[in-house]
Amino acid sequence: MAMVSAASSNPGPNQTRLPGTPDKPAGKPVRPRVVLAMEGVTKSYPNGKIALRGVDLIVPEGDFVFLVGPSGAGKSTIIKLLIRDEMATKGVVLLDGRDLARLKRKDVPRIRRKIGIVFQDFKLLPHKSVRENVAFALEVTGAPRETIGPVVDRVLRVVGLTGQADQLPGQLSGGEQQRTAIARALVHNPRLFIADEPTGNLDPLISWEIIQLLLRINELGVTVLMATHNAEVVTALRKRVVALEDGRVVRDQTEAAYHRED
Amino acid sequence: MIAFVAFSLRRAWQGLWHNRLMSVAATATMVLMLALLSGLIILLTGLDATLKYVEQEVQVVAYLKDSANPQDINLLETAVGQMPQVTEVSYVSKDQALKDFLGRHPDEAEVVNSLPANPLPASLQINLRDPNDYLDVATYLRNQAPVDRVLNIKQTVDQMVTVIGILRAVGIGVLVVVGLIVLFIIVNTIRLAVVSRADEIEIMRLVGASDAFIRWPFIFEGALVGLFGALITIAVLWLGQGPITTVMADYFKVLPVEASATVGRDVALVVLGTGVGIGVLGSYLSIRSYLIR
Ligand SMILES: Nc1ncnc2c1ncn2[C@@H]1O[C@H](COP(=O)(O)OP(=O)(O)OP(=O)(O)O)[C@@H](O)[C@H]1O
Ligand SMILES: [Mg+2]
């Protein structure tokens, strides 16, 4: 396995970190743990389409990574591999040290709880209120009833939706809907936060609000991986950028900008 | 655990309510099948009991004319008792016959008492060493003056065995067909429920819900259809037990059918088990393909 390059790792201020985030040993400097690692990953879909061709990617804890590239480059495929919605055809995918190929079926849900994920299309349940949508993620993972309320309150505070908790998704703006989805993705104190084009359906101003929220989550110590076409955001933030093209990593730079060819 | 069951039940109920038309259809066909099943069980149990009684007990019954001379009857009884094929012969008087009948059908006392005279004939009940000797003995009896008619019990038994066999085969055949239809309807009901929840299932998977949380509500949903179907069937049988007993008693009037006390309980258990079993099987079949990954 390749050495971990100390990328723009920035463990956040500790007083605001989410409960459940492992404590850093105080005092001596430590090499950041690797949250996800892919090595020589190839993915071909059953229809013969090869979506990834030998991808290497290492993301240390606390990183904020933009995944860019033209449509069809393989960004969403990487994400599907990480949540083990799909399996790599070749190569190794490690999540928090676990080899996803060797994960037993019954252990998959537990691994997924280490990941918070949001999509362009929010994926909210239209007949449930904001609060119920968020609580749903806890109910269906068997959280004790009495713990659900406090956790929901906490994540709604993080995303700033306390006031809209009882509204239905249809009564919210796109940005508020995405913030609801983000709140839901936070309930299990994920180690990795994945956003697949989270601003794809939002206008620029609202997009910035969502980005600010993701930055804040990153500051709380959560590693963030965001697939996007949003050049303005990528260029402005000067974070690590991994560019894919036709299933290959063609660029992996820290404090980078969006290139025209992305 | 309790939270899990409560969650699954709540979702199962929501699912049934959401597709209530389909749920009602599934429950109704379930009731139809279970009613057929219990009818068959009750009928076969009755016939089997009758058969057992007939086979074990008296093999030839000779009904005597009311006008017969008691001395002739005495002579006949002695003569029959001395036949090598006969192991035992006993005389049942008209009074005794009536008493026996009322013992078996106490409800009929009023009807019987309202009759001007005792309608039941006296009889000779004869046990044979070998049931195959039936014809010899019956022929002999038929030619005796006091004998009105001979009940051909062996023939009755043979006929019954045939009828029971046919009933059982046809009944099971019909049940299997109806059972498959019910299964098909349940599979579709649950599949509809799964499809209408595709979004929820996707979210559940994304947030790390275990398979149990995704599957069991649907299993519960099928089980609930089975449970409701079974309860309705049992309620109908319960309400109908009076008429059913009367019809059965009428049907088997010649022979003493003792409906065993456990028949009702056994039928209820079978109905419950079959209903819930088919419900669970149906939902299992319909979610199996969908959730594997
Ligand atoms: N389930 C699938 N079956 C077959 N081919 C697929 C499947 N999913 C994706 N692909 C193909 O794999 C390639 C990579 O797709 P992917 O969704 O990863 O691209 P992307 O980088 O996310 O694109 P976009 O920016 O448009 O979202 C595409 O050519 C796509 O058509
Ligand atoms: Mg994509």
Would you place residue B67 in the very low, low, confident or very high pLDDT band (cuts 50, 70, 90)? confident
Q: Radius of gyration over alpha carbons of chain A, in Å?
A: 18
Q: Which residue, judged by its Cα, is nearest atom 18 of ligand 1?
A: A74
According to the model, what pLDDT value does residue A120 have? Answer: 95
According to the model, what pLDDT value does residue A60 have? Answer: 96
Residues B189 and B171 grouped into a single domain:
yes
Residues B94 and B233 grouped into a single domain:
no
Q: What is the mean pLDDT of chain A?
A: 89
Residues B182 and B272 grouped into a single domain:
yes
Between A28 and B267, where is the model more confident?
B267
Q: What is the mean pLDDT of chain B?
A: 83
According to the model, what pLDDT value does residue B85 have? Answer: 85
Alpha helix (H) residue ranges in chain A:
75-82, 108-112, 130-139, 145-159, 174-186, 204-219, 231-237
Q: Are strands A192-196 and A223-227 parallel, antiparallel or unpaired?
A: parallel
Task: Enumerate residues 6+ apart whose C-beta is below 8 A from B264.
Answer: B237, B241
Least confident of A40-54, B114-128, B234-248: B234-248
Residues B91 and B208 grouped into a single domain:
no
Residues B60 and B116 grouped into a single domain:
yes
Residues B146 and B240 grouped into a single domain:
no
Residues B78 and B28 grouped into a single domain:
no
Question: What percent of chain B shows pLDDT beyond 70?
Answer: 88
Give the CATH number, domain containing residue B61.
3.30.70.3040
Q: Which among A38, A42, A53, A77 is the best mutation to test ligand 1's pocket, defined by most ligand atoms within 8 Å of the CB? A: A77
What integer is the mean pLDDT of B112-132?
82
Question: What angle, rounded to 10 degrees, do the helices at B263-291 and B153-196 form?
Answer: 30
pLDDT exceeds cutoff 90 at B139: no
How many angstroms is it from A72 CA to the middle of ligand 1?
5
Residues B68 and B23 grouped into a single domain:
no
How many angstroms is it from B16 CA to the middle of ligand 2?
36
Least confident of A141-150, A188-197, B66-75: B66-75
At which of B152, B183, B205 does a domain end?
B152
According to the model, what pLDDT value does residue B58 have? Answer: 57
Nearest neighbour of B213 by CB, restricted to A85, A140, A144: A140
Determine contact, residues B124/B151, Cβ cutoff 8 Å.
no
Would you place residue B272 in the very low, low, confident or very high pLDDT band (cuts 50, 70, 90)? very high
Determine contact, residues B146/B69, Cβ cutoff 8 Å.
yes
Residues B82 and B206 grouped into a single domain:
no
At which of B126, B152, B178 does a domain end?
B152
pLDDT exceeds cutoff 50 at A1: no
Query: What does chain A come to in residues?
Result: 262
At which of B152, B172, B194 does a domain end?
B152
A112 interfaces chain B, CB cutoff of 8 Å: yes
Task: Give the predicted TM-score (pTM) of the model.
Answer: 0.74
pLDDT, tens only, B3-55: 788 888 988 998 889 888 889 999 998 999 899 888 888 878 777 777 776 66
pLDDT, tens only, B148-194: 888 766 677 777 778 878 888 888 888 888 889 889 988 988 888 88
Residues B124 and B60 grouped into a single domain:
yes
According to the model, what pLDDT value does residue A17 have? Answer: 44
Residues B198 and B257 grouped into a single domain:
yes
Determine contact, residues B218/B12, Cβ cutoff 8 Å.
yes
At position B29, the amino acid (one-letter code) is: T
A137 interfaces chain B, CB cutoff of 8 Å: yes
Closest CA to A31 of A61, A1, A57, A75: A61
Would you place residue B111 in the very low, low, confident or very high pLDDT band (cuts 50, 70, 90)? confident
Would you place residue A194 in the very low, low, confident or very high pLDDT band (cuts 50, 70, 90)? very high
CATH topology of domain A61-83+114-253: Rossmann fold (3.40.50)
Domain extent at residue B215: 2-54+158-291
Least confident of A85-89, B104-108, B195-199, B289-293: B289-293
Question: What percent of chain A shows pLDDT beyond 70?
Answer: 87
Residues B110 and B183 grouped into a single domain:
no
Between A21 and B198, where is the model more confident?
B198
**Total domains in the fold of chain B:** 2
At position B280, the amino acid (one-letter code) is: V
Residue of A nearest to B200 (CA): A125
